[in-house]
Amino acid sequence: MKDNEDSDIGFIISAAISSTIKANEEAMNSNFTIFVEEDAKLFEIIPNGKKSFVKDILKPTIRFPQQFKLK
């Protein structure tokens, strides 16, 4: 059962990463302004590719457990 759980978790993580990358690529190719966070700084990227600093932001302080059990 442990091997199945590990492979299921690996599949979920892989799907989430793949979806995030695809959504980011689609957003970058759209004709909309997008916002990205880099090193606790918020940047605006306009459709022509110009990136502008908006403001400093706080990093989340939530600590997630190193291990948890899926139910």
What is the per-residue pLDDT across 23-65, written as a single tens digit (0 to 9) for each? 878 877 888 888 989 999 999 998 888 999 999 998 778 888 8
pLDDT at 11 over 60: yes
Q: Is 18 found in the same domain as 2?
A: yes
Q: Is 24 found in the same domain as 6?
A: yes
The boundaries of the domain holding residue 4 are 1-30
Count of structural domains, the chain:
2
Residue 70, in any domain of the structure: no
Residue 12, in any domain of the structure: yes
Phi and psi for 52 in degrees, rounded to 5? -125, 135
Residue 22, in any domain of the structure: yes
Q: Is 25 found in the same domain as 37?
A: no
Residue 69, in any domain of the structure: no
**What Cα–Cα distance (Å) separates residue 33 from each residue in 28, 43, 44?**
9, 10, 7
pTM comes to 0.54
∠ CA 57-58-64, nearest 5°, is 135
Provide the pLDDT confidence category of residue 3 given band limits of 50, 70 and 90.
Answer: low
